[in-house]
Amino acid sequence: MTLDEKKIRADFPLLNKKINGKPVFYLDNAASTQKPSAVLEALVEFYEGSYANIHRGAYSLSEQATDLYEKAREKVARFIGARPDEIVFTKGTTEGINLAAYAWGGANLSHADMVLISQMEHHSNIVPWQIVAKARKARVEAIRVDTSTLCLDMRQADELLAKKPKVLAVAHASNAIGTVNDVARLCRQAKEQGARVLVDAAQSAPHIRLDVGKIGCDFLAFSGHKILGPTGIGVLFISQSVQKSTPPFLGGGDMIRSVEIGSFTHADPPAKYEAGTPPIAQAIGLMAAIGYIEKIGLERVRGHEIALADLCQKGLEELGCTVYRCGQERWKGGIVAFDTPGIHPHDLATILDRENVMVRSGHQCAMPLHRALGVSATARASFYIYNGKEDVEKLCSGVERAKKIFGTD
Amino acid sequence: MEGNDELYREIILDNYRNPKNRGRIERPDGAAFDSNPLCGDEVRIEVLVRRGVVNKIRFEGSGCAISIACASMLASRLEGKKLSQVQGADKKLVLGLLGGIDPGPSRIKCAMLPLKVLKLALLSAKSKKLNK
């Protein structure tokens, strides 16, 4: 069941290049993943052979492009256990969450309603809700992170859910510390209280098999570029259950049935939520990316990442680093956030960059979480299918070098 | 990038570990604070300006070695200089403090933050005086 990362690596042109004459150790996969040839070829093949705008022309090239775009939608639907008409293409997770917050929230939130999020959300699952809550005079509350387990405080979650929030918006997995949240349980409890649920799956879709039916959410968003696909493509699952109560978000071509000067009637979903020319080629690229990851098998992906992250955590702790990572087998992720005493994460990242070891440094777009952890910034190594032991070793030797430079060894 | 070792020269590390001109001024003529939202560097600078001379510069802050070392070196370099001279300080001066090594597009923001805050502090001193 193990994964042959060297064989996988061969499929990724950039990872086989040298930068400044040295090999690449790419450990920023939670930010974005590299692209396999299969995805790049799908893009070129489409642009060279089948490209035209979709849902418009009565000519065969446009029909061919439309067919491929809709096949991509079907692929995504099967990938997460949804129906094709529940799949809306966006430009990424952020746009997906904004769509849900503005369209559903704008129509359904009212004075004194509670929007429940968590302290470990990415800013993209905080700020859209704050904006809409302010406009609707609703309020945003957050489930605490238990700083000893680095999991959500489920007892406090129970208390907050008992106060009947109108919507729960929660990450399936944290982008900063990798913790996987029990979203199925949270969804069940939220539903019992009559809340709608949005799951931010940006950090889970690339690593964990998703089934929107089993999770039980109304909305689920993820990005293509974090799962080997192109940038500019994302997915928002809008369950049939909320399609009536979610008005259109952007207005324009393709989302209408008819338009008068004074009014319009919208098309049926998913077109209802896809105004203008969508990212056609990017959707087709995403279809190739999902095909690639399915061939490997998502079940093997998570095991591989966890093993590397475990090794990485051990190595960094032996070097005196403080690691912020959930310790529970079921809920930990393939992300290792850490702090090296006496060395700011930015300085560390700059020194690591010399050997082409690429990590993220900063607040990881999760300022409330960092505040809860009592740190202003962390360094983060995040693993994916093409990473191996050499990446961990190179990172650890880089940290050792930084400690020498800073005289903290 | 070969420049990293040179970027983290002893003078930078020294100013990071033992920053000069750190602290507050009891009744400053001007003060300003700013942060670097990407990495969380924070710098507050206070100044005393008398007869067209920047008599005293003090800073407080937290952040990476580059931002703290730059704040320290900038404050000690410009303290006692003419107001016009301090106002005219630019990126070239900051790069000079870094030994002429360009830290790259993302890290230059860390290096430039203290100068930005110093200029804001001078502006606040000016407006304070105008309001008197």
pLDDT in tens, A205-231: 999 999 999 999 999 999 999 999 999
Write out the catalytic residue numbers of A: 365
Element (H, E) at A335: strand A335-339
pLDDT per position as a tens digit, B9-63: 999 999 999 999 999 999 999 999 999 877 778 999 999 999 999 999 999 999 9
Q: Can you tell me which residue has the tokens 């990424």?
A: A92
Residues A132 and A191: beta-carbon distance below 8 Å: no
**Chain A environment of B2 (Cβ under 8 Å):** 20, 354
- The DSSP code for A2 is -
CA distance A74 to chain B (A): 38
Cross-chain Cβ contact B107/A350 below 8 Å: yes
Please give the Cα distance from B74 to A12 (Å, whole number).
Answer: 45
Cross-chain Cβ contact A353/B4 below 8 Å: yes
B18 Cβ partners below 8 Å, 6+ apart?
Answer: none
Cross-chain Cβ contact B1/A377 below 8 Å: no
Instruction: Give the pTM.
Output: 0.94
**Chain A environment of B5 (Cβ under 8 Å):** 354, 405
**Chain A environment of B66 (Cβ under 8 Å):** 346-347
CA distance B12 to chain A (A): 10
CA distance B123 to chain A (A): 28
CA distance B112 to chain A (A): 15
**Chain B environment of A346 (Cβ under 8 Å):** 39, 41, 63-64, 66, 107, 110
Q: Can you tell me which residue has the tokens 């019992």?
A: A192
Residue A81 contacts B, CB cutoff 8 Å: no
Cross-chain Cβ contact A346/B62 below 8 Å: no
Cross-chain Cβ contact B65/A347 below 8 Å: yes
Task: Identify the pLDDT of residue B5.
Answer: 67
A232: left (phi over 0), alpha (psi -120 to 50) or beta: left
Please give the Cα distance from A209 to A399 (Å, whole number).
Answer: 33
Option in B1, B8, B63 nearest A20 (CB)? B1
Residue B130 contacts A, CB cutoff 8 Å: no
Residue B65 contacts A, CB cutoff 8 Å: yes
| Sign of the dihedral through C-alpha B63, A173, A169, A268 | positive
CA distance B98 to chain A (A): 14
Option in A343, A351, A363 nearest B40 (CB)? A363
Is B2 a residue whose pLDDT tops 50? no
Structure token pair of residue A107: 């129509």
Residues A236 and A100: beta-carbon distance below 8 Å: yes
Task: Identify the pLDDT of residue B85.
Answer: 95
Residue B38 contacts A, CB cutoff 8 Å: yes
Give the mean pLDDT of B110-114.
95
Cross-chain Cβ contact B39/A363 below 8 Å: yes
Task: Identify the pLDDT of residue B1.
Answer: 40
Concatenating the DSSP letter of every residue in B31-98 gives: EEEEEETTTTEEEEEEEEEETTEEEEEEEEEE--HHHHHHHHHHHHHHTTSBHHHHHT--HHHHHHHT
Please give the Cα distance from A407 to B15 (Å, whole number).
Answer: 14
Please tell me chain A's helix, strand, coil percentages from 3-state DSSP, rounded to the nearest 5: 45, 20, 40
Residue A361 contacts B, CB cutoff 8 Å: yes
CA distance A402 to chain B (A): 10
Task: Identify the pLDDT of residue A330.
Answer: 96
Cross-chain Cβ contact B39/A351 below 8 Å: no
Residues A73 and A86: beta-carbon distance below 8 Å: no
Cross-chain Cβ contact A350/B4 below 8 Å: yes
Cross-chain Cβ contact B8/A351 below 8 Å: yes
Cβ neighbours of A126 (radius 10 Å):
22
Max CA pair span of chain B: 52
A317 Cβ partners below 8 Å, 6+ apart?
Answer: A323
Please give the Cα distance from A379 to A354 (Å, whole number).
Answer: 16
Per-run averaged pLDDT (10 residues), chain A, 409 residues: 89 97 98 98 98 89 96 98 98 98 98 97 98 98 97 98 98 98 98 98 98 98 98 98 97 95 97 97 98 95 97 98 97 97 95 96 92 93 98 98 94
**Chain A environment of B103 (Cβ under 8 Å):** 350
Option in B1, B7, B40 nearest A362 (CB)? B40
Q: Please state the length of chain A.
A: 409
Option in B1, B2, B63 nearest A344 (CB)? B63
Mutate to test the interface with B, among A339, A350, A363 (most CBs of B within 10 A): A350
Tell me how many residue pairs between chain A and chain B have CB atoms under 8 A apart. 52
Structure token pair of residue A192: 């019992």
